[in-house]
Amino acid sequence: MNRRVLISVLVAVLVLAGAGGAALYLLRGSDQSGAQETAASAFGRAWTGGNLATLAFAPGAEDPAGSIQKITAGLTAEKTDKPSDVSPGTVTESDSGETASVPLTVTWSLAKDQEWSYESTLTLVKQNDAWLPEYSPELVHPELTGTLATATLDASTLPGRRGQIVGANDKVLVEDREVVTVGIQKSRADDVKKTVNQVANIVEVDGAALLKRVEAAGGDVFVEVITLRRAAYDKVEPKLKPIPGTVFQTKDLSLPPTSDFARPLFGTVGTATADIVEESGGRVQAGDETGLSGLQRTYDEQLSGTPGVVVTAAVPDQEDSEKELFRAEPSNGENLQITLDEDVQKAADKALGSAKKLAGMVAIDTKTGNILAIANGGPNGNSYNRALLGQYAPGSTFKVASTFGLLEFGGMTANKTVACPATLAVGGKTFKNAEDEVLGRTSFANDFAHSCNTAFVGSAKLISQEELAEAAKSLGYGQPNSTGVTAYLGQVPTEGDTVEHAASMIGQSKVLASPLNVASASAAVAEGTWHAPKLVLNGKPSSDEKSEEPTTEDGEVASSAEPTDEEAAEETLAEVEPVKLNADAAKTLRSLMRGVVTNGTATALKGVPGGPVSGKTGTAEYGSDTPPRTHAWFTGFQGDIAFAVVVEDGGFGAQTAVPLVKKFLADLA
């Protein structure tokens, strides 16, 4: 019968034996029980410390430390797999006194902060007055016996269902949709070069680059060519399937309704990059599906939920040998509620899809500030979210703000007579009108409708630069960001010399804006109250989120833009109080903006469906070329929807931006 040995005092003498410095635990009479416990503790420390190779094992097994490592190599991403804790229990010595058994509680810290604990048994063998651990697969885990004696362990992530991105009226905008990944397996192709060329031509990818990747891959490696939505794949399947060497994989990806739907905003989901893994602090592991860009990355932690994990034992290369040892179920991701309206977004995407040059557009609910659409267009236009991040001189669209300042602080009225000469010199700089227009002495209302620069420059003396900045801020310029994503809300200097002040009146000099804040200004005029633009309603930014940086119209990173950490990401959800506008000034400004459409620079919008349109065209000079290059703008409102569009290098707003707005409103009606 076994006798139980309770350990109260642990005394051992450590002897370094051999060149490897292996640890032996010697017996000294009545200290034998202490030596057994010490040997068990030493084994636990060596295993958790990744130092099993320094430990002497009982004879009979070849490379016990290496065998243990081979079994557990699939449990963690570490170079040397080791449990986080090994706790020995009470020693039981055999009747012969030659062996002893020690129960072990083994705990592994797996990926995604999951812990796996189980009971194992360590057998100690007495060798030359020392107690040595005996290796067997069951030491690693008790199930590794019989048919699983040669099995290895593997831990796999169990992803939860990714949260959906839900828009206005609880319409699901982004959800799991079926995609097909087209690939090439070299070993299945009769003529690799021919296969690559055929596939590349059908799916329109770079054939030379694809050939290099296929030739560099192993014969049985699946080389990804392109991932297509099911509808797009179905169109090319009859051409692709007969080609020798083509292989297809089907899965679900979190996607919006169409490939162009607010594409830069939503971003993509895919296999985590090395940078994302590194920046995540362990939250994201290599091979994980994660948000790669846009909202999918900013709110990945919220959308992805908490992954689970499953640990299995299986004999390598032996089918049907797998046995599940542990499972922690995942928790599904939380939906992200945003303000985009599917119909408004589709109309904006469709309109900007016809843009011949890079363009950005934002639409806003005038009553709430909720962003209804964020669209980007033009050649490769979806590569950058200029609608939110771009910084441009707003040109004459800023006359909405400067007019508000003149009405509130400068005593201006719609009927007041102003001078509109062809040119006007201020402080040594000559300002001129588009296409050398001359209105002569005319009403301010007519001046606004036809966007006479010289009249605004001449009126600059009626308000200070500080008052201009204050008026612009009332319309949202320079206000804190409450959208929930990185966005640029414009800037208007509070100081400036005479020339800078004059140029600021017409949206030049150091005045900068994005389509977002230009649309927000129009929304404020329409409603009589500025509401902070909102996009994300229930967001919890990921702690490892790195956002895009706003850039200027020349592509430079803006001086005010810095990479965001968790604190900065939270600041994009700032609570900003509404600003009630001067009611009389707002009413007059609405009338002036309506005049732009009825008898000014945007008469092309006079007959669009959906109701009366009010707005302001803009042509913004930038750069140092002679003559200056210009961006085209239009901003305005129809009913409860305000909007702004910019076309880079688009020339005159009336010629380039207005037609896009016309398409947008016609499709929306």
Q: Which tens digits make up the pLDDT trace of 191-228?
A: 999 999 999 999 999 999 999 999 999 989 999 999 99
Q: What integer best gives the mean pLDDT of the chain?
A: 90
Q: Is the pLDDT of residue 58 over 70?
A: yes
| CA-based nearest residue to 518, from 491, 540, 498, 544 | 491
Residue 160: the pLDDT is 86
Most confident of 12-21, 314-323, 331-340, 376-385: 331-340
pLDDT at residue 544 in the model: 66
Output the pLDDT for position 115.
94
pLDDT at 613 over 80: yes
Sign of the dihedral defined by the CA atoms of residues 99, 104, 110, 116, in that order: positive
Distance, CA of 461 to CA of 455 (rounded, Å): 11
Name the 3-class secondary structure at 459: coil
* pLDDT over threshold 70, residue 32: no
Residue 96: other Cβ atoms inside 10 A: 7
Q: Is the pLDDT of residue 133 over 80?
A: yes
pLDDT at 398 over 60: yes
Pairwise pLDDT comparison (111 vs 419), residue with the higher score: 419
Query: If pLDDT is split at 50, 70 and 90, which confidence band does 28 have?
Result: very low
Instruction: Give the mean pLDDT of 467-494.
Output: 97
The per-residue pLDDT for range 519-535, each reduced to its tens digit, is 999 999 999 999 999 99
User: Distance (Å, rounded) from C-alpha 339 to C-alpha 256?
Assistant: 14
Q: Is the pLDDT of residue 383 over 60?
A: yes
Q: Choose between 627 and 241: higher pLDDT.
A: 241
pLDDT at 351 over 80: yes
Select the more confidently predicted residue: 29 or 645: 645
Question: Residue 10 pLDDT > 90, yes or no?
Answer: no
pLDDT bucket at 555, cuts 50 / 70 / 90? very low
pLDDT at 37: 96
Domains of the chain, CATH where assigned: 3-148 (3.10.450), 165-336 (3.90.1310), 342-536+573-668 (3.40.710.10)
What is the residue type of 73?
Answer: A
The pLDDT confidence band at residue 467, using thresholds 50, 70 and 90, is very high
Residue 552 scores a pLDDT above 80: no
Burial of 18 (0-12, 13-18, 19+ CB in 10 A): exposed
Q: What is the mean pLDDT of residues 619-629?
A: 91
Let me know: does 110 contact 76? Beta carbons within 8 Å. yes
Coil, helix or strand for 502?
A: helix
Global pTM value: 0.80
C-alpha closest to that of 550 among 387, 424, 441: 387
What is the mean predicted confidence (pLDDT) over 307-318?
93
E strand or H helix at 17: strand 14-17
pLDDT at 572: 87
DSSP state of 610: T
Which pLDDT does position 566 carry in this prediction? 42
- Binning pLDDT at 50, 70 and 90, where does residue 570 land? low
Strand partners, 328: 309
Is omega for the bond preceding 515 within 30 degrees of 0, making it cis? Answer: no
d(CA 313, CA 153): 5
| Range of weakest confidence among 109-118, 317-326, 439-448, 537-546 | 537-546
Lowest mean pLDDT among 270-284, 381-395, 623-637: 270-284
% of the chain surpassing 90 pLDDT: 79
Please give the average per-residue pLDDT across 351-366, as a whole number. 97
Q: Which pLDDT does position 541 carry in this prediction?
A: 86
pLDDT score, position 545: 58
> 48-57, 107-116, 118-127, 393-402: which has the minimum mean pLDDT?
107-116
